[in-house]
Amino acid sequence: MNEQSSPSVRERIERNTKRRGMTKLTETLMPNVFLICAIISILTTIGIIITLISETLSFFQAVSIIEFMMSSEWYPLHNDASYGIRPLLTGTLVIAFIAMCIAIPFGLASAIFLSEYASDKTRRTVKPILEVLAGVPTIVYGFFALTFVTPILQHLIPSLSIYNALSPGIVVGIMIIPMVASLSEDAMSAVPDSLRQGAFALGSTRLEVAVKVVLPAAFSGIIASFVLAVSRAIGETMIVTVAGGANPTASIDITSAVQTMTAYIVQISLGDAGYGTTEYYSIYAVGMTLFIFTLIMNLLAHFISKRFREVY
């Protein structure tokens, strides 16, 4: 019975031949699929850049680039329109600065704890919970800033308006803590354990090992995480739209309403400007400025990562 039920040698050969044929087909097909995906990504990026450039040029046909860069007033929807990008830049950078004041210390402290103090079990538990913050929709963060954080801050700062820069800046910082913590922890975990053991052998404490040995060794990865987090803060949209207000001002007063570049794009995209008008094309000029900022930050992160990378 066993001899009749077991496959014959010929059946085994045919089965192995079919498997080799499927493997060969897969090995031939999948590189082409991956290539197509890569080409689509590249073409999408090129299409975005072409769209931004062409529409931005249409904007600068009506508005002087000198006015756009030098003017301190941004009132595109007024009868006497003014298109100075400085107020939007100021609001964006103020929000990003406040966010980094929150994200860098808390994110780096979390990374040091996970890398140098936490046990494997604690790390496997805490790190996914921390990264859940990155999965919360930004519109939820926006209403959290408006309805929870702002009232608390108003008790501490009576002059704080309902729409302000401080509240969304703090919440943006909370949102990007997982990015700083996760990337910094990965960089610190990549440091060879022999460096730690050598420092311990010389009588260093755990804190001294973390601060004076591990942090310098993981410097490139940590700085890259900071730069990427800044890029994320600069590009944040819904939190600042909901809680920051819509007051483009060149002032750095964090207690008053501000408007960022992304918040302005949302405002105009809701239909406040007709298609083909200068106001409409202004969103592409602002988007191009935001794209350049983000590109510079990403290139900076790449340069720092390569320049200060330690290879062990």
pLDDT tens by residue, 20-78:
666 666 777 778 888 899 999 999 989 988 888 888 888 888 888 888 888 778 877 77
Instruction: Tell me the CA distances in angstroms from 259 to 93, 99, 229, 275, one per residue in order.
Output: 11, 15, 20, 22
pLDDT given for residue 97 in this prediction: 92
Residue-range domain boundaries for the chain? 2-61, 74-307
pLDDT given for residue 98 in this prediction: 92
Residue 7 has pLDDT above 90, yes or no: no
- Tell me: the pLDDT tens digits for 144-174? 888 898 999 888 888 888 888 889 999 999 9
pTM (predicted TM-score): 0.81
Q: What is the mean pLDDT of the chain?
A: 82
- Percent of the chain topping pLDDT 90: 9
Homologous superfamily assigned to 74-307: MetI-like (1.10.3720.10)
Contact predicate 86/252, CB 8 Å: no
Residue 17 has pLDDT above 80, yes or no: no
Label residue 105 by pLDDT band (50, 70, 90): very high
Question: What CA–CA distance (Å, rounded) separates 277 from 152?
Answer: 42
CB atoms closer than 10 angstroms to residue 262: 24
Residue 3 has pLDDT above 60, yes or no: no
Span 107-127, average pLDDT: 85
